[in-house]
Amino acid sequence: MASTKAKKVNAYQAEKLRKAHLVNVQKAKNKQMFALLGLGHLYPLLNDYGILASAKIRIATTLIQAAPSCNDQRSKEAIEYIKGAFKQFELNTEVTLLNGNKITVRDFRTTLTSVFVFFLTNKGNVGPHSVQIITEVHKLFKKYLDTWAGVNMLCEHFFDDVCTHISSLKYGIYYPKEEHKSGSRRDINDNWAISPVFAFNVEIPERKTVAIEGKKREVYHMGFPEFKKGVRWTTVASERLGFTHGQSYPCYIQQHAIKRLVERIGIFSESVTVFQACLSMEHSKVLRIPGSDAYYFEFKIMDIKLGYLVASLIDGILVVKTFIFVTQSGSPEGKRIETATGIKRADKDYIGMGTLKGFLSEDVATNPKMALLLEKVGCTDLLRAYDVFSQKVNIKGMQSTGRIITQFLEKTWAYSNLESIESYSSDFLAIVPALPPEPMPEPIAVVKEDVVEAAEQEEDVAPVAEASAPKPRSWKMLIVGIILLPLTLPLVLFLNLLAWILEGLMSKKNRNNAGNNG
């Protein structure tokens, strides 16, 4: 009994020491933050209550937690990865204050925010200069509203990026939901802290089995995470496919298409590449190529066209069957390259011309002959690929492929022939909506006295229009008419003969009457 009581006392003393240590640490942080904000002259004006109370009200570090749905081993590992990545992000990313000083994102979200929260909510006496202190803090707070929005945007982008990297159409799509966890505060002397909490959830994309070219294939519902919103499932509006407005088709992709995307783009992870495919399906241009019943969606990354996602409507869903790089034979641009240079499909694959890696080279970006060729065949975006992607990913070791391509092409095709070729654009293959929205008819002014008369005219006209509509003839009635035709023909002749005889008798009677009268 005594040992239990001693343990409780020791635990209480340890918690008391821990809270006292947190308060002392927060005091030092607040004093430093006042100086960084340019309010260092105000901190000495605070009384003991103001210094202590501002240290006891604080915004704690952000907590990363798993939602109940994330209870499998893979999800647990993903959450641990997010925790480490967010910690590095908070400590290594700097925010520039209005006076030019720099602090980390963590200090901005904790200490700086704690200072503002205390002085914006405190109504008590923090010293003889309370009015001056609170007024200056309020003015400075209004100036930092845009900075706050910028820091929140940085955090949103971080979570969007990290969720995109760890998500998979096969294993699940992760997304956070923001909450807040605060401790109870019994009195003014008690500590109070609030922690932003990001609870991560996971959703497994739906799978379907469809027939593609006579074989059953498993396809995955395409989607990607959105901060605070959940999973955004990819759909394509019907008018983008040339159909009537008002309908949308969910997008699915088979594993073969994912494999082709990854190997032909080659510089991003599978999750990032599939995410870009989702965006392309929603926003890019759709083409129809003669001789094919598929839809060709332009695939773009950072506004650079890299190829086509080939999709077909199957059982009411839009299924991405494969991916064609922009220079491959299956694309309009690839066929133009073969026509202009005489290069064969096998040669293009051999020298690496069918992947993005082949064009991430200074030899391609600065070669005037390659520039003219790519401009003529409609691949000018590839000239920008080196400058754009070299800033995002490590392309070291890809220079040799570009050199091989330029050397091979210079030996096999006549440069002078390109001058006479007309520059190509795939715009003429783009789908134009079959039924664009019709303009609303202009209202016709109607005199009030004519409203009843117009309504009566409509009632009179409606039955006539309905009666004048030809009714379909039954095939049974047609057969009966053919059968009765031999019987009705003699009857008609007999009636005509009878009418002729009666007409002769009547004319004879009339002549006799005329003779008697004479």
Domain locations in the chain as residue ranges = 7-203, 207-420
N residues, the chain:
518
Identify the top-confidence range among 8-22, 155-169, 444-458: 155-169
State the pLDDT confidence band at 318, using cuts at 50, 70 and 90: very high
Angle of the 145-166 helix axis to the 270-283 helix axis, nearest 10: 110
pLDDT at 227: 85
Residue 172: φ, ψ to 5°: 140, 155
Among 205, 198, 213, residue whose Cα is nearest residue 159 = 198
- How far is Cα 422 from Cα 378, in angstroms, rounded to an integer? 10
User: DSSP H helical segments within 202-343, as ranges?
Assistant: 255-265, 270-283, 332-341
**pLDDT tens digits, one per residue of 66-97:** 888 888 899 999 999 999 999 999 999 999 99
Residue 187: the pLDDT is 46
Mean pLDDT rounded to a whole number for the chain: 80
Q: Is the pLDDT of residue 63 over 60?
A: yes
